Every structure is written in C-alpha cells, then in structure tokens.
Amino acid sequence: MDVIAMELQNLNIGKVKIKEPLAHHTTIKIGGPADLFIEPSSVEGLKKVMAVVKKNRLNWRAIGRGSNLLVSDKGIEGAVIKLSNGIDELKINGTEITVGGGHSLISLATQISKKGLAGLEFASGIPGSVGGAVYMNAGAHGSDISKIVTAAHILFDDGTMKWLTNEELEFSYRTSVLQKKRPGIVVEATFKLCEGEKSAIVSQMLKNKDYRKDTQPWNFPCAGSIFRNPLPNYAGRLIEVAGLKGFSIGGAKISEMHGNFIVNAGNASAEDVLALIQHVKDTIYSLYEIKMETEVEIVGRK
C-alpha cells in the first residue's frame, strides 16, 4: 500500500493515509483501519483515484459522513474513498438544484430553505451526505430522496461516468441500484424542488429537527436506524414492546429513547453492536415470528 499511497500523493489528489482508523469517520465512532484512506479534493482528483484503484485491482468503497455505517473492528481491505469538501458544489437553477455527492444533507436542506425552495424539509435532520442519501434512498417524515431526485451522475469503477435517471436508479425502501447491481460513486445529483413560502418551509424544518432531538439519541454516537421497518410493523415499536430498550452488550446499548437505535455508550466495538443486533433478531423472532433485517450497512473484514 505504501507504493500506491505514494503514487496517489504524487498525483496531488487530496488526503491520502495508510491504516486510518475509520472510527474517526463514522457517526457511531466505531471501525478499524482502512488499508488506504483517500479524501479527494475535487472531482478530477476522484477520477484519478478510481483510475489508480482500477490499475492496482484494489477493493474499494465510498463513504460520506459515515452515518448508517458499521465498520468491522478489523477494518476494511483495500481503499476507502471519502467524499467531502471539494465534491460539494451547489448549483441552483430556478427550482432545480445540482449538488455534489460530498455535500452535507442537513446543510443543503438549510441552504435551500432560505431560498424558499420546498421538498427537502424531511432531510433537515438526516446526518449524512447527498451521495449517501441517494445511495440508500434516505428518508424521514413520510418522504425520501426518490421523491425529488431526477438524476445522479455516477462514477463507476471502470472509470466511466454516466447520468442515471430516477428510474434507472431503481429506488425502493432504503435502497437503490447502486447498492448491489451497479456499484458506483454518486458524484452529484439533481433534485427537482418547488417554490414555497420561506417561513413555512423553515418552520417545518425546525419541527422535524425538534422531533428528532426529542425522540432520537443523537447525544450519543450512533449510526441511525439499525433495522428496516417490517411493515406494517415498526422496528422501534417491536423492540420497545419486547422490553429491549436499555439492553446492552459491552459498550453497545439499545437506546432508551428509541428502540431502533443502538448507541455507543462507551468504547463499544463492532462486535458488541453485532451481538446486540443478533440478540434483537432472535428475541423478535421468538416473540412474533418476524424476521428483522438491518438497515445499517455492515462492512469490513470478518
């Protein structure tokens, strides 16, 4: 990896680190080292990174702000590419916006609300990036990204870039075509919004933020919702009725505020969280014969 890291540094593409702890880059503050950690400073730099990754046949994955992500204690093999500053440009053209994959979703919702554009109010409390939101079709408060995205510009690992339409992204509940069928990096996305009353938009955003503060444990490191809702049931409600709120294994604990959140209550490991996830699955199945599926993405060495 030293040779590849040197090659990338010589290309002046941004930050390049070896054995960078991913606990520094996930919202739950858990995760072992990435063999190679790269934070490109531009889209051109990102393209160069992918070319080097392909040439050296490295495994790779992209991350944004590290929410909805549980990284193994043993870390991730190959390259981890983080999109942030430099891949976060925002362009506004009437009610249509195009925004970089590294842009904070919360920051975007705030900026857009001040322009009197409606449609992103649901995202005002989602602590992820635009790229991650498109990748997993993030949503809240009865809406999701699929309702507003018209297209996304994707960098594939063969170095090609292509705009995929909403239909081609194949959105469904907390997923898209990018998760399995066509792995790629969301470089930018275009959203179709609508004009609204600025004060009403800001008011709704504040209500959404307050609701999250009142019902979800963002005062502790966490990854967001752990389980998909097994509709018509809700994961948090099933876990609460099963009496599992507050249950802990090691440093990982089921939040007492919301049953579908596992928090890092103090030096939790990924193994602690995985054991807690399995305990919830076993308990819910034994009580209700409902199979719980994880929403959080579990990645890294086993």
Which stretches of 195-251 are DSSP H helices?
Answer: 198-215, 235-241
Instruction: Give the count of alpha carbons within 13 A of 257, CB side only.
Output: 16
β-partners of residue 152 are 164, 189
Residue in the structure block whose two tokens are 């969301």: 186
- Of 51, 81, 35, nearest to 186 by C-alpha is 81
Long-range residue pairs from 262-268, CB within 8 A, at least 24 positions apart, any chain: 262/28, 262/222, 262/223, 262/226, 263/28, 263/217, 263/220, 263/221, 263/222, 264/28, 264/29, 264/30, 264/220, 264/221, 264/222, 265/220, 268/28, 268/30
- Of 106, 104, 131, 136, nearest to 121 by C-alpha is 106
DSSP 294: B
DSSP 117: E
Question: Could you list the active site residues?
Answer: 174, 225, 295
How many other β-carbons are positioned within 10 Å of the β-carbon of residue 2? 8
How far, in Å, are 36, 61, 135 from residue 78 at the CA level? 6, 8, 20
Which structure tokens are listed for 301?
A: 């060495």
Residues in the chain: 302
